[in-house]
Each structure stands twice: as C-alpha cells, then as structure tokens.
Structure 1
Amino acid sequence: MTVGSAPPLWSGRFRATTVGLYFLSALFAFESFAVATVMPVVGHEFGALSSYALAFAAPIATSVFAICVAGVWIDRAGPGPALYSGVAVFAAGLIGVAAAPGIDVFLAGRAVQGFGSGLAGVALYVLVAVAYPETFRARVFTVLTSAWVLPALIGPPVAGGLADAVGWRWVFAIAPLPAVVAAVALTPARRRAPPSDDLPRTAPPLRWAAAAAVAVLAVGVAGQREVAGWPLLLAVAVAGVCWSVPRLVPIGTWRFAAGLPAVLSARSLTGAAFFGAEVYVPLALVQFHGFTPAHAGMFLTVSALAWFAGSWIAAHVSALSDAAVRVRWGTATVAVGIGASATVLRPEVWPAVALVGWSVAGLGIGMVFSSASVLLLDYSPPERTGTNSAAMQVNDAAAQSVWLCSGTVLFAASAAATWGFAAMFAGAAVVAAGAYAAATRITASSSMP
C-alpha cells in the first residue's frame, strides 16, 4: 500500500459513505465521553453508586460477544445486516437507558448499547475495505480518528450542560435519530459489498466468545475492588481471558507470530500501554503539581489532537508510505513518550516536559492504530475481513481491560505513593516495548501476498 494522491473523500461517489462513517463513529465517541460525565449523577439519583463499575464493564463485555458474532455474520452475509442491526440495537439501548426507572434497567440498556456498538463497529471496518480503493484506506482511518477528536473536546461539557438544563436522560434520548441517519448514509457502500458464499472454516465457536465476554466483565468488576473476594475474582477473570481470547484470534497472536498475528499484538499492546499511562497523568498533575482537575484534563485534550496528527501523518507523509514501518516507528514513539511523561512525578520538573512527552505518545498511537488497521485489511482476503476485524477488536478489548484493571489494583496497594505512580509508568513503557517487539515481526506491506 502506498500513500498517493486521490480524489477528495468528501465529494463525488465517496461523500455519503465518508459522512456516514464519520458521524456514526462520532456518535459512538460522544456517548463514550458523555456517559462518563453523567454517570455520577445517575448513580446518586438511583442510589446505586456501588453499580458504577458495571455501567462501564457491562457494555464492554457485551460488545466483545457482539464483535465475534459480527465477524462471522459479515463474512457470510456482508456488512449490511450487521450494520443496520447494530445501529438498531444501539438505539434501542439508548432509549432503554433514557427511560430507565431504576439502576437495573439502566444497566440492561447499557449492555444492549454495547452489543449494538460491537456489531456496528466491525461492520464499519469492513465497509472501509469494500467502499474505498486500497490507496484510500489510510486516509479513511484518519477520518475515523478525527471523529473522536471533536467529541473528546465537546462531549463532556455538552453532556454536562444537557444534564444540568434538562436532565441526564436527554444525553441518551437525543442520540438514536442521528445514529439512524448516519446508517442510512452508508447504504450505497453497503450495496457494494455482496454476501460471501465462502464462510471461513476457522470461524471461532461462539462459546469462546461468550467465555471471553464473561471474563472481561469479571475483570472490570473485580478491578474496582468493591465486591467481596475480589482478588480471587480478578485472578479467575484474568485466567479466563488468557484461556478464551487466544481461541478468538489468529494462531500465534499472543506469541508475536509473523504477519497478521504480529499486527494484532502490536496494536493491542500499544493501546494497553497508552491507556494504562493515560489514567495516571491527570492524577499526577493534581498530586505533584497542584493542578486543578480541569487543567489536568487539558493534557488529555492535547493527546487527542496529537493522536489525530499521528493518523494524518501516517496517511499523508510519503516518506512513511509503508504501513509496517509506520507501526514500528509508532510503537517506539509511544514508548519514548510514556518515558518522557513520567517526569510529571518530579515536582521540580516543568510540567511542559510531561506535556510534550504525552503529546509524543499521542502522536505514536495515532500512527499505530491507523496503520495497523490498514495492514489488517491488506492481510485479509474478502471472505475473512469480518472475522479478522473482529479478532483485532476483541484482542484490543482484552489487552486493555486486563492491563488497566491489574494496574489499578497495584496502584491501590501503593496508596497513591510516588512509587505506585512510577510503577504504572514503568509498566506502561514495558508494554509499549513489547508492542515494538511485535511490530518488528510485521512483514513489510510491499511483500504481502
């Protein structure tokens, strides 16, 4: 795959598809940021702060199962049924959440939301493969990345404003209509993706998907340390992830086998490293430099912009036309950026040093995620695009859940001492180094079969 000149993605026959991809991705992003903003209000209203963790863990778990369902379904029937079913289920979940009379219905609605977003998320990846020429893919993934930037900037204040003005329920109630409109805009692309008569014989049994979903849910709940016997639950849950997820991804993924398995490993470990450090950057700024939470949160806004910049560079800089090279550079950049960001633990070091470091990390993950997505499609024959896309997303969810929750437990044991912060940054840097090791096993895109 090479990065070259191409007609505008926002005009001609690509306009409707690009608009649909952008707005549906942006809607998923907005809901992700919005629920984090209004969840404290919901918890207080229902008197159920003990269920706080489930509001986030439940949709992740159901999305894991839905992703696996979508992969096989799409390879057999094309992306259309999974896309439209996913949007419909996502919208139904939103309506259920908005109308919830209590926490039980609220959590059920969140779980339904997760299932819908899992179905639609895989379909969006496959639509990129069928709707655009190969040389467009890096630019399209830049569009998908940009769809998360605006919600990152305006999602929390808009959601908070809606909750204050008309109530938190409207944060969820207004979303179904734009979701349906965005899905309709993708109709032309869906029609260019005929069903396949060749169902992959290696499609993983759904029992492993169900086991992975339960294990990821248990990891999220145990990681909050609010249930009796949580250490045992966490240990069993992590073992469950390690037992089930390798059966849902290409053979050799967890040992960095050359080719597609290495692509999945590099992307998943990069995400785990980045998000594993991101959790502690604002907290360190507050604790060691006296920042307010709002000012500390600006660091995350800067990293979101850097993420987009990394994706843009991957798509437009001709010197980085080989996606395999971009993944290697990106993983190394994330490791360096996390290391530089650890200076935030030293009160005598100017916080701008950490800001630059975290921006470098954001630049690196932007390069890795978009480039790994391009490589995934390059490696996948048409009849396996859905299955492989699902494998990538499941592996991402597993790696990030296990690392985040394990890190949370270790950090809690430190009682927020300096050594606890240092352990989190050091661990994230080691995970990023593992991502680089996986990246070196990726075949150059020019030599792919």
Structure 2
Amino acid sequence: MRAESPSAARTGAFIAVAVALFCIQVDFFALNLAIPGIADELGVTPSAAQWTLSAYMLAIGCFFIVGGRLGDVFGRRGTLLVGIALFAAGSVGCALAPGLALLVAARIVQGIGAGFVFPVSVAVISNAFPEASRARALGAAFGIANIGTALGPFVGGGFTEGPGWRWIFWLLAPLSAVALLIAVRYVPDSRDTSAPRQLDLIGCFTIVCTLAALTTAVERGSAWGWDSVRTLTLLGTSVLTGGLFLLRERLARHPLVDLRLFRNVPYVLVTGMGSVANMGYCVTVFVATLYLQGVRGLSPLMAGIVFLAPAVLVALAGPLGARLAPRMRPTAVMALAGAIAGTGMITLSHVTAWWLYVPVFAWCGLGLGLGWTFSSVATQQVVPTARAGEASGVLLTFLVTLGAIALAAAATTITAMTPERPPEEVYDTILRVGGAVILLVSVVVMAVRHRLALQGKVPPLSLHAPRPPADAGGSARNP
C-alpha cells in the first residue's frame, strides 16, 4: 500500500468504510420488495424465493464474530478487503444467477462478505481516528449507511417494477468495487498485537453451527411450525453446539471470544440496550408495514412515502450520536435512546390522525435508530481498541439474532391473535408491550450504572474524567 499522510489515510478509510456499509444497508432493505419479482422470473413460489433473504441473514449472522476476530488477529485491512471483495463478487453472482439455487448461493457469499465488513469497519475507524474524533467519524459513517437503509425499499421497489430486480445487484457491484479500490489504497492495517496469529477453529465451527441452527429455526419456524421436527431439531442443535462453544472458549488458550468481555458491565449494558432497540426497530417496521397497507389501505408506494419520515430520522441518528458522545457517557446515550423509542412506540399505538401519526412514527425512528446505531459507537468507548473487532462482532451478532427472534415472535403473535381480535388491536398491543420493555430496560441500564458509580467502579455522569486504558475483558473506558 502506498504511503499516505495520516489525514489522507483517515479520509480514505472513512470513505471506503462508509460506501461499503451503504451498499450492505441498501442490499439488506432492498430485496424484501423484490421477492415477488424473483419468484415470477425464476418460476418458484414466494416461499421458496424467501430463501434469498433467509440465506443472507443466516450467513451474515454467523460470521460477525468470526469476521471481527479475524481482523483483530490477522489484520483489519486484509479482512476488510476480503469482505468487500466477497460482497462485490456475490453481487455479480446474484445479478447473473440463472436459477434460485445459484442465487441463494451468491446471497450466502454476499452475507459472509458483509459479516466480515461490518465488525471490521467499526474497528478500522476506531483505529484510524484519534480518540477525540473517533465517535464523530463512526457516527458519520453510520449516518451514511443509514441513508442506504432509507433508500433500500425505493431501490428495491423501483428496480423491480422497472428494469428488473437484477439491477439491484448491478448497482451494488460497482459501488462495492469503488469501496474496495479506495480501501486498497488508503486503509491502514491494525491488529491486536497482544494476540498470536492463531484462530480458534473449533470455536469458529461451534459458533457458526449454533447461529446457523438458531437462525434457520427462527427464520423458518412459522412456515414449518414451531412444534415441527425440523424446528425442534434445529433449536436443540443450537443449544448443544452453543454449550460446546462456551465450554471451548473457557478452555481454549486463545479463544475466539474472550468471555471476560462479559465482565465489562458497561459493555453488557450497551449491548443489551442496543439489542433491545434493534428488536424494537424490526418489530415496529414490520407492524407499521402491515398497519399502513392492511388497515389504512395504502399502496406500497404510499406506505414507502410514510416511511420516509422515520427513515430520515434513522439516518440522522448516526451524526446525532456522534454529537452526544463527547457530552454524555455511552450508557446514558443508550438509555436516552431507549426512552425516546419506548415512548414513541407506546404513543404510536394510540394515534390515528395523520397529522400526529407521521411525526410520532419519525420520533420512533429517531429513538430506535439512535439505539442500534450508537451501540456500535458506544462499544468502542467501553472496550480497548485492540479488541474492537471482537467486541463489535459480538454486539452485531446479538443485534441481528435477537432482531430476527423478535420479528418471528411478532409474526407468530399476530397469527395467533388475529382470528379473535381485530388486526389493528393486535398491532397496537405489540407496540405497547415492545415500548414498555424498552422503557424498562432503559431504567435498568441507568439503575445499574448508578450503582456502579456509587461503588466507584465507573465515573459519575457529571464528570468527564480521562479515559483510562482497559484490559482485554474486565475494565471499561468512559462508561
């Protein structure tokens, strides 16, 4: 890599990461609206075409932890380049796929690439930028990525109704190639210098098996039946291999995940709050989609226009979190996000007038977006930078896996309750319960943090003390 000035290297690394994350977010949210078009063109049922989404979720969820630790051990630059290259190659494969089997295979390649890119991107920014500007850079990168979240449905719907769903991937392939070329030139390398260049392969195998079995069971449980042999077998497999993974990580000399990470109470609080916020985000988007089209009778296009308001606030959540980071402790920002999200969800369940529904929906987007976006920023403030990839990978695994579980639970609840109760009443109940849970978790986060402050284990909220160094697991920085 050609030597660059520190400023140019930071700018180039930021652009590469932001473009890569933008592509992943567009891809994640664009394909939902393309499922009917894929089914028609490939001559398969919509249920079969749904595997293009399930396979991607499976791959990305399984490789967050592996990708994050690969970057820490062998170098973040190389891992980022491999991840972007896999995503770009998978995009080309999706665009050219002649049948469903090859399309699903290409989506798995995309998902593995994205699973490498996301946690390593956070670590690349954390190590490229000085501590004073790190949160601002992460917030801006996630703000750009969240623009992809807002544009995803329009890209998916527009291309599907226009030139065809394959153009979703023809858009992503060159953008990913641009991110790759910029990363090759500008992204500096970094790694956990305290870790030997060894990867816990047994840990990788057991965690991938655990997450693959759990994700597949959650994704397909509604279609197969939650008491079916396939679903129960997969759930049992995930419990067994999950236990083996924990045992392996306790005994391994150089584990994939240092379990001391979970002794870092601020990290646990941030991860828990971020996971709950992402669960709320998944459920709210799902329920609002059903409400707008099923109860309000809006067309997909009009529903997409209503979604613009929360999408814009989600996009702004990244920069907002960056502005709050120097002024508030990470756990306090996460609790604030939960308070905004919880009150928004509960209020949304009570309003019907458009003049109030749209701004309240946007209020939900702000709180939920800030919760799951800032969690990635917050983890970098409460763990040492040497373990940034590992911490980010664990966080993202919780976010995606628990988000999928919440979505499946909401779908199952709606199916079970709608025969006896009107759909609108069921949707409102789900929003109220979800909002109450998020508010409760916010209170718990602040109560635990207050107790730690009284014990002298973390600084009070009113003080901006210097950030001390932290060890691999137990100590926290600026919690």
Cα distance between partner residues in 2 of 1:318 and 1:392: 18
- 3-state SS, counterpart of residue 186 of structure 1: helix
Matching residue of 1:113 = 110
Give the aligned partner of residue 47 of structure 1: 43
Is 1:273–1:431's contact at 8 Å kept on the other side of the alignment?
Answer: no
* Alpha-carbon offset, residue 382 of structure 1: 3.4
1:233-254 deviation line (CA, Å, top 9, x unaligned): 5556566666739948775999
> Which has the higher mean CA deviation after the structures are superposed, 364-373 or 118-127?
364-373
Partner of 1:216: 215
More displaced 10-residue stretch of structure 1: 31-40 or 435-444: 435-444
Partner amino acid for 2:393? A
1:439 Cα deviation (Å)?
A: 2.7
Residue 409 of structure 2 aligns to which amino acid in structure 1? S
Matching of residues 6-405 of structure 1 within 5 Å: 13-48=9-44, 49-187=46-184, 190-194=187-191, 196-199=193-196, 205-206=203-204, 207-223=206-222, 225=223, 227=224, 233-234=230-231, 237=234, 244=242, 247=246, 258-317=265-324, 320-344=327-351, 349-405=352-408
Moved more, 291-300 or 391-400: 291-300
Structure 1 unaligned residues grouped into runs of 5+ = 1-10
**SS in structure 1 at match of 2:335:** helix
Q: Aligned with 2:344: secondary structure?
A: helix
Query: 1:219, 1:237 within 8 Å by CA — same for their partners in 2?
Result: no
Shift of the 392–267 alpha-carbon distance from structure 1 to 2, 3 Å rule, reads same
| Structure 1 residue 174, shift from structure 2 partner | 3.9
Pick aligned residue for 2:433 from 427, 440, 443 = 427
Q: What's the offset of the Cα at 1:366?
A: 3.2
CA drift at 1:195: 5.8
Counterpart Cα distance in 1 of 2:179 and 2:257: 30
Q: Which position in structure 2 is the counterpart of 1:5?
A: none
- Native 8 Å contact 2:13 2:125 kept in 1: no
Question: How far apart are 1:262 and its partner, in Å?
Answer: 1.5
CA deviation map 1:249-287 (0-9, x unaligned): 775999x97221121111001110122122111322334
Q: Tell me how large the CA RMSD over aligned residues is.
A: 3.1
What is the TM-score normalised by the length of structure 1?
0.86
Change (3 A) 1:338 1:233: farther
Give the Å deviation of 1:194.
4.7
Q: CA 1:326–1:197 in structure 2 vs 1: closer, same or farther (change >3 Å)?
A: closer
Match of 1:196, SS? Answer: coil
**Change in 2 beyond 3 A, CA 1:158/1:367:** closer
Residue 50 of structure 1, CA deviation: 2.4
Q: Cα–Cα, structure 1 residues 268 and 228, in superposed 2: closer, same or farther, change >3 Å?
A: closer
**Greater mean deviation of Cα atoms: 425-434 or 316-325:** 316-325
Q: Is the 8 A contact 1:123 1:386 kept in 2?
A: yes
Deviation at 1:22, TM superposition (A): 1.8
Preserved contact between residue 249 and residue 392 of structure 1 (Cα < 8 Å): no
Q: Output the CA distance in 2 between the equivalents of 1:149 and 1:75.
A: 26
